[in-house]
């Protein structure tokens, strides 16, 4: 749907003011000590449009930990590197369980439901390593992101990675459980270290919206993701991108989205726009509370929906 950029810009500016006036920010993720230090009352949004413009409001240039949003980019790298093979190790169905749940992993014999829950993302990261040192695999993800965003200034926040490495006992359990089912080729600690660093990539909303242009297949996006791969990433984001909150996000926003416990959400309007919202306070599902609200308001204002 065609949208007047000036009208959308003024809507985003008002939305930022409206959100700042509210008191219900949600709770920051406290199971990663470094993320528990982030002030919840923050909001930023960036919208990359098909004509190359990037609209911004609020703290669009503040860096945040992209956390699980990174899972989309590692999956894109793995699909590019080894194609469809990954689907022998991980499924493509919503789990209906929390992002860090171990419940289905035993019942389903070590094959995680999808690549966005933590168990599935650990498998994707394990595949990303492909016999390489963690540093090389992480360099590939960073290079891919920098190319996608057209911005070299994207890095890993080592304090966040180390913070999770010290306290990520559920992920440690998941990785060992996967190993017991022979669904982890590397030593668990090697895959875990890579995964924690990948989650600790920090970006601004502006950078994230620009990186999402390839998933939206915007005409001016760098041609680094084949159309059929973009379609599949969008399908997975729609059905699994918000874990057990995926149905609610689809119902309220109507667009594929991927959230992270740092409070970022990448939202894709295929062929039309790539949107990044950030607000660190989370809802009960571990997804950004005000970020979801903002995505809902933007979708309502623009009429963007895949339905």
Residues that bind ligand DON (CB under 6 A): 67-68, 99-100, 118, 164, 171, 199, 259-261, 286-287
Tell whether residue 164 is among the known ligand binding residues.
yes
Tell whether residue 285 is among the known ligand binding residues.
no
Our CB check for ligand DON shows the closer of 3 and 28 to be: 28
**For residue 86, what are the contacts with CB-CB under 8 A and spacing of at least 6?**
75, 78, 79, 115, 123, 124, 127
User: Measuring CA to CA, which residue among 189, 195, 188 is closest to residue 67?
Assistant: 195
Tell whether residue 195 is among the known ligand binding residues.
yes
Catalytic residue among 195, 267, 274, 288: 195
Catalytic residue among 69, 141, 261, 272: 261
Our CB check for ligand DON shows the closer of 56 and 171 to be: 171
Catalytic residue among 45, 54, 70, 71: 71
CB of 281 to ligand DON, least distance (A): 12
Catalytic residue among 28, 54, 65, 68: 68
Tell whether residue 261 is among the known ligand binding residues.
yes
Residue 261 annotated in active site: yes
CB of 115 to ligand DON, least distance (A): 13
User: Measuring CA to CA, which residue among 168, 154, 91, 167 is closest to residue 123?
Assistant: 91
Catalytic residue among 45, 243, 259, 285: 243
Our CB check for ligand DON shows the closer of 162 and 226 to be: 162
Residue 68 annotated in active site: yes
Our CB check for ligand DON shows the closer of 144 and 285 to be: 285
Our CB check for ligand DON shows the closer of 112 and 286 to be: 286
Residue of closest CB approach to ligand DON = 68
Residue 243 annotated in active site: yes
Residue 109 annotated in active site: no
CB of 151 to ligand DON, least distance (A): 22
Tell whether residue 78 is among the known ligand binding residues.
no
In terms of residues, how long is the chain? 307
Give whole-number Cα distances, 134 to 28, 155, 288, in Å: 29, 15, 29
CB-CB contact of 95 with 246 (8 Å): no
Residue 177 annotated in active site: no
Annotated binding-site residues read 68, 118, 164, 171, 195, 243, 261
Annotated binding-site residues for substrate read 68, 118, 164, 171, 195, 243, 261
Provide the annotated active-site residues: 68, 71, 195, 243, 261
């Amino acid at each position: 749907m065609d949208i007047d950029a000036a009208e959308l810009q003024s809507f985003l500016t008002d939305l930022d003011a409206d959100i700042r006036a509210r008191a219900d920010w949600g709770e920051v993720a406290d199971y990663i000590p470094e993320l528990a230090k982030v002030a919840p009352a923050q909001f930023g949004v960036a919208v990359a449009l098909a004509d190359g413009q990037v609209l911004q409001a609020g703290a669009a240039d503040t860096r945040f930990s992209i956390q699980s949003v990174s899972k989309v980019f590692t999956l894109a790298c793995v699909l590019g590197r080894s194609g469809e093979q990954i689907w022998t190790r991980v499924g493509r169905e919503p789990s209906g369980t929390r992002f860090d749940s171990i419940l289905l992993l035993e019942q389903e014999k070590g094959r995680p439901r999808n690549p966005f829950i933590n168990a599935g993302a650990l498998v994707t990261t394990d595949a990303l390593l492909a016999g390489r040192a963690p540093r090389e695999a992480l360099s590939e993800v960073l290079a891919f992101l920098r190319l996608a965003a057209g911005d070299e200034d994207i890095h890993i926040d080592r304090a966040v990675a180390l913070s999770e490495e010290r306290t990520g006992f559920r992920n440690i359990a998941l990785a060992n459980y996967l190993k017991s089912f022979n669904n982890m080729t590397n030593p668990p600690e090697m895959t875990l270290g890579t995964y924690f660093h990948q989650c600790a990539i920090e970006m601004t909303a502006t950078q994230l919206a620009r990186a999402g242009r390839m998933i939206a297949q915007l005409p001016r996006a760098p041609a680094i993701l084949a159309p059929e791969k973009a379609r599949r990433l969008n399908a997975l984001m729609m059905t699994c991108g918000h874990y057990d909150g995926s149905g609610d996000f689809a119902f309220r926003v109507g667009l594929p989205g991927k959230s992270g416990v740092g409070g970022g959400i990448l939202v894709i309007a295929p062929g039309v726009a790539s949107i990044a919202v950030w607000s660190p306070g989370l809802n009960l599902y571990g997804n950004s509370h005000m970020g979801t609200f903002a995505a809902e308001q933007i979708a309502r204002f623009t009429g963007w929906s895949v339905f």
